[in-house]
Chains A and B, each alone.
Chain A
């Protein structure tokens, strides 16, 4: 049996070292092509009529004037009369024309009449008594749960508890299965109690989830030595992908489609387009070279991906391009749900956590949204959790880098930090004292806390919360997080040609995370040749399928399939070459492009000479993940991370500056240290943005987003980014766990760490992110000054 295991430290040439990204030169010189850059011959331009109202019914649509305009090639109604529209900016009609200007003129010539309906765009605390108890679930509710990535176990228990308001049809079940619904949920749906009378009345905007109780919270609070209460929250923000969503689709013949799409899910797109387009998935060719950000919002072709292809068909199959405009991108292409909570936590005087109670609420748009996993990281023994989902017209939600975890971190770590302050404990000691409640990751966190404290200079910087403040104040804060990150299913084909050239094909994508680089690191290290000797082809459905890049599953998937393919290809080559070197295959090794007999470097061939022994036929092998026939398992799940932030606040203006951030992160066995570190840098920058600036601002009267642009939807600029320090945990205790994903974990903690640093600086909590001057000043006023 070949040894697929990751090589140990002495036997690695590239793996675990620092390799600069292979695509950096292309990117910094502007040569890298994104979907946005694609221009196809004869291409038409799509434009979309969007509903200006946050909640409305489409009454009538008149496209006749637009259809007659010269240069307009096709017009298609997306949501016709009778459709209910749940957010401002939703798609109503699409047009395709010979250029953007004509398409825009046509769009303006379309007359749509709406009946306006009452809307709600606020996610403020539900008024007392407004929340409805959860009744029987509709199939839409189930769909929302999938969208919000509620764990299957929880969906099943909800179905069993509440029943359904309608019996799911076989078609509906089939569709859910195709969308990836697990069997246990399908089974629960099939056997659910049906309450046909439910689902009749008008549903409230406020939906109460069942109270979850663990242990005996009442007793624990009654016996508590110290109790801290507080209000915490994190707003709804957008993904703000710098390359907006969109695609260019064309019909290459009457039943074949070619799509360029900005996606995190190259191999998964065709399957989702097949049914709406009514052609087999095999007839849909999807291609993407580079993607300018997805962050969880680009797994589906989306409604616009489908109608681009549909309208292309109407326009004789000509390529039609529709990339979302900036304002549309911010209004409709997804958002991270908000989460707020009133939290009460209790501990013994020595800092031992004893009880947690939370009343949380939040919105993910019309679907409401579930409760984040609170209390986060720490399994507090006695808990009571109440949650109200707000269904409103703020726009649709999508997975946002580590779905639900940044919210959970803010609600939990800020509440715990306030408790530590009440106990007069240094948070490092307080969190450290309760690490037994983190279960599996206890040792990881303990080591990481120590490293982070050292790198931050925590001992010198931390101070008890001040009584009074004046001028510039400084403080430090910390947070902890966890994530899964097991590698997804991934197939690849590796071919060694007789001339020595090597090709690796995989239907994955590089989100800018360094996936290309990491695949090449694994392949080159395993084969023993330089990375430049391998041609890597990704981003196309002509290559073996590899999973979507979500849940931090890519690195584990692609590195594992590549490793298996490279080991098998190398061994196949050794078998062919061994006779020429008068050796057994297992006596051979290849390093730096030289294939030799172990321990006898004189018996050697160059890579090229060795490959020439293949004769006419190249070697092609398929690498797979998972592959139980080729152990060991090369990937794993479960990481821990600790982050610390230092802030400086001008107490007269309330302006917060982050001065330093430290990220200490484990992700098992690291393929490329440099790209691993850059994930953490990027995540901290994104974290500073959402902690200080980002917010989807909605106008209560019109229900529209007021900042769908880059001037008031603020992101951190260069000068807002402080010293960032990253430390990756490696070596014993980490390396042997296998490869684990990293894309998401480091973006979870910044909000809580920065908020805690602000509380440490000011002596008072600013309840909600973003930590804007008005909020900081309000908190200062409440506290009183010197």
Chain B
């Protein structure tokens, strides 16, 4: 780890003023479960760390007419165990409980979960987010891409978006609230994730002097939902494919749906194709399979990850069937 300055403000305003206008100099520190590892590995090297854990009003879970409001500092563990979440967003609770380990969930915050950096092993080994060698050769394309993107990978970004929780949040229609030097903004969560085109860009629509303040999840009582991960180990593991589904039913047919894939693209990957395929249809093996095929129809696997196309289909298929079988 390199030397850095550590500041611990008590208000959002102070925090924002301590953050720099460009990436590279300052970083927000929440639970530290990701950032500290990146700093120890010399991948991220801030000169100043702005700890936000002392900002009391970034904590807490409440609900109002707009839905559930979750402060950015809420830990994954708190969120998973929240009675309101367990009752009204059970698939979110399930997705959270499948993430990481109990120890990590007790430290990791939801804000940090949205902003965590990709797990791409080239990135984590200090070879860059869009890794190239001196000659400009793209390392992922030429190398070990078994865990990399199969969709949205036509540009230089080949990593996959790391959160296993975000697809479910997007499927539930979550919005993200940000606060920065230029004021407050709110975005649909899916719009928060972007595919970087140059090494100096990040994979979030987050400005360097902005913080995530909270997320808002609209009421979901009329939705059937499910989360499904394909992963190799039962013990903590990064998945090979994730699917999150919410279905709004009309009688026994799907009126509308959200079908979001994870671990397939540099961003969480909503599939309008799959949503369209389910629209007006009953949920059964055949329709679920068709939706899964539609979701992956445009997949462009790399040299070593064609198998992920199959796994992503299985995830979509199983998530749809699981959602229909469940209640919320």
Contacts and interface: CB of A to CB of B under 8 A. Distances in A.
Interface of A: 101, 104-105, 108, 327, 652-655, 657, 692-693, 697-702, 704, 706-709, 711-712, 714, 716-720, 772-774, 777-778
A720 B233 contact: yes
Nearest to B307: A774
A777 B307 contact: yes
B121 A697 contact: yes
B137 to A, nearest CB: 6
A746 B7 CA distance: 54
A652 B133 CA distance: 37
A274 B316 CA distance: 63
B125 interface: yes
A504 to B, nearest CB: 40
Contacts of B240: 653, 773
Nearest to B241: A653
Contacts of A101: 1, 3
B139 interface: yes
Interface in B211-253: 230-238, 240
A709 B41 CA distance: 11
B124 A709 contact: yes
B232 A693 contact: yes
A655 B231 CA distance: 8
A716 B237 CA distance: 10
A653 B230 contact: yes
Interface residues of B, number: 34
Contact of B232 (A327, A692, A701): A692
Contacts of B238: 711-712
Given A653-B311, A697-B144, A701-B142, A720 B235 contact: yes
A700 B3 CA distance: 33
Contacts of B36: none
B325 interface: no
Contact of B233 (A327, A697, A708, A714): A714
A697 B2 CA distance: 28
B34 to A, nearest CB: 11
Nearest to A710: B236
- In this complex, the member of B124, B146, B232 whose beta carbon has the largest number of chain A beta carbons within 10 angstroms is B232
A739 to B, nearest CB: 36
B311 A712 contact: no
Contact of A719 (B121, B147, B235): B235
A699 B124 CA distance: 13
A273 B183 CA distance: 65
Contact of A717 (B127, B236, B310): B236
Q: Which of A105, A702, A716, A778 has the most CB of B within 10 A?
A: A702
A777 B236 CA distance: 22
Contact of B133 (A701, A708, A711): A701
A105 B1 CA distance: 9
7 contacts: A653-B230, A653-B240, A657-B234, A697-B121, A701-B143, A702-B127, A719-B235
A714 to B, nearest CB: 6
Most buried by A among B137, B144, B146, B304: B144
Given A101-B3, A652-B314, A653-B311, A700 B143 contact: yes
A653 B309 CA distance: 11
A654 B307 contact: yes
A239 B232 CA distance: 21
Contacts of B307: 654, 773-774, 777-778
A777 B232 CA distance: 13
Nearest to B101: A717
Nearest to A721: B235
B234 A712 contact: no
Contact of A701 (B124, B139, B233, B237): B139
Given A699-B122, A700-B143, A701-B143, A772 B133 contact: no
Contact of A693 (B122, B125, B233): B233
Interface in B195-213: none
Contacts of B310: 652, 777
A657 B142 CA distance: 31
A103 to B, nearest CB: 12
Nearest to B146: A774
Given A657-B234, A714-B233, 20 more contacts: A101-B1, A653-B311, A654-B307, A697-B121, A698-B144, A699-B139, A706-B143, A709-B124, A712-B147, A714-B237, A717-B233, A717-B236, A717-B237, A719-B233, A772-B232, A773-B230, A773-B240, A774-B305, A777-B307, A777-B311
Contact of A714 (B3, B142, B232): B232
Contacts of A655: 230-232
B119 interface: yes
A699 B234 contact: no
